[in-house]
Amino acid sequence: MLHRFSKANWSDLYYQIPSSPVAIGLILAILGTISGLLLAFGGPLVGIGVLIAIVAGLVVLSNIEIGIWGVVGVVCLLPFATLPFKIVITPTFLDLALGGVFAVWVLRLVTGRQREIVGGPVAFPLLIFILVTLFAFVFGMPNGPLTSQLLRKFSELILSLVFVILLVDFCRDWVTLERLVFVVLLAGTAAAVIGIGFWLLPDETANDILNMLTRIGYPGGFVIRYVEDNPEALERAIGTSVDPNVYGGLLVLMGTLAAPQLVAEKPIFGKRWISWTAFMCIFVALLLTNSRGAFLGLVAGVGFLAIIRYRQLIPWGVAALAVMLLFIIPLTQDAITSVVRVVAGENTADIATQYTERLSDAFEGEDLATQMRVGEYRDAVRLIQRYPLFGVGFAGSPDVDLYLGVASVYLTIAQQMGLLGILAFAVLIGSVFLQAYNKREYFSNRPDRDPIWLGLHGAVVGGLVVGLFDHYLFNLVFLHAVTIFWMLLGLAVASTRLATSE
């Protein structure tokens, strides 16, 4: 499966884990001392938690690429995990992973092991967007309390944006980029399999397993989600992402990234059947989220791929979708229902019919969720009209009759950062795709690299479409979703920059 990467390619990383006897002995002595003190004064849970954090930190500090893998793993598999103790604030796994990666990167620059930063063609518009974000935060501080939690979450948001520059700088050759994409797809497929597994389990069993995660900061109680929060309706897959819409957004990015591998001459997984298996797991998990925005995002992302490179497949795709909706789903829905009843022990209703009805209700604006979104859009527009240029910041709304929070990335940015922020975001995204457009001929002549380059940009398109219907890709509550979106955008920029450098 990994024949595309030689042993040297996998082991040739920025730093190597220390292997000298003196270094290992010193590390073990320090860890033993710290563990004894923590066990004595903080209890076993705190001691084990800190020990794991120290070991993970040492691994990250020894190898920046493993640290990036850690970021991917946390985002896909344990996005809300925190340490089981508090140090002024309760650090999340994502805090530790991102902090470790940036610490290594800065140390490389400070110590002279790295002489320059390769920012790529979008570094300037990205820096402008970051500056506008910082200005909006400071400008809006009087509108709400400045808490330690708000400062931490906003810092994570800025780190996620700067992560783009770090990734472009780190991916200085195609093998490194390809290896990171491989890890992202592997983690995304694992997240999809976990979500399908929880959905197939009886609700009580799945809920008991998910409640075990409360020890590392996850919410407890009954966490299984249903359509419109009605236990008599369809269950929605959530994986370990807590929210089905957020989980669906992750699967949109992963599914669009995986789609070009289905027709690649040399799939990244080595075997084409593995690529198909991974994509189908992601697709099925996405359908089980019952997230209509995610479904449309995946359709848009894959449609973008077809328009750019596989136009001859568009009629076949439309025909396949029509056949699936008109014939295959009605013929197989009884079988699906029977399997779910046997496996999950539920009296599951007509899955396919309910799913298609929810899609049609969304377009017609007849269901409660869509009507609530429309109301949010109206309130968001009113807030933007009152504070059009700079927005109201991230702390809160200055007006008691209006609030921050709307199910749209673009309206969220406009609320918090004003029209100046949405303009800076549009320029940034436009520069990404303008540079990609200028290098389209290079990749059309490189079938070994084209699927990865195309998949990365398709994933960004899928995320942008999802952003029309939800806000978690630029939200302080769902920073893991913010991180994975900007990470894929950074890898997309890195792929285009590598073509430029050649």
What would the pLDDT profile of 81-98 be if each residue is shown by its tens digit?
887 766 666 778 888 888
Distance CA 351, CA 252 (A): 21
Please, are residues 286 and 252 in contact by the beta-carbon 8 Å criterion? yes
134 inside domain: no
What would the pLDDT profile of 127-162 be if each residue is shown by its tens digit?
999 999 999 998 888 877 878 788 888 888 998 999
- pLDDT surpasses 50 at 338: no
The full 3-state SS of 29-65, as one line of letters, equals HHHHHHHHHHHHHCCHHHHHHHHHHHHHHHHHHHCHH
81 inside domain: yes
72 inside domain: yes
248 inside domain: no
Distance of CA 303 to CAs 61, 86, 264, 281, 307, Å?
Answer: 41, 46, 17, 19, 6
49 inside domain: yes
Percent of the chain clearing pLDDT 70 (strictly above) = 74
Average pLDDT, integer, range 477-502: 89
More confident residue, 303 or 36: 303
- pLDDT surpasses 80 at 6: no
Q: pLDDT band at residue 47, thresholds of 50, 70 and 90?
A: low
Output the pLDDT for position 180: 94
Distance CA 203, CA 200 (A): 8
Output the pLDDT for position 501: 72
What would the pLDDT profile of 315-327 be if each residue is shown by its tens digit?
656 665 665 555 4
99 inside domain: yes
The count of structural domains within the chain is 1
What would the pLDDT profile of 166-189 be if each residue is shown by its tens digit?
999 998 889 999 999 999 999 999
Query: Helix, strand or coil for residue 92?
Result: strand
How far from each other are the two terminal CA atoms of the chain, in whole angstroms? 28
Percent of the chain clearing pLDDT 90 (strictly above) = 25
What would the pLDDT profile of 241-264 be if each residue is shown by its tens digit?
888 989 999 999 999 999 999 888
486 inside domain: no
What would the pLDDT profile of 399-435 be if each residue is shown by its tens digit?
777 777 777 888 889 888 989 999 999 999 999 999 9
Number of Cβ within 10 Å of residue 414's Cβ equals 24
71 inside domain: yes
Mean predicted lDDT score pLDDT of the chain: 78
Output the pLDDT for position 337: 46
- pLDDT surpasses 50 at 297: yes
Domain that holds residue 99: 14-116
Output the pLDDT for position 187: 94
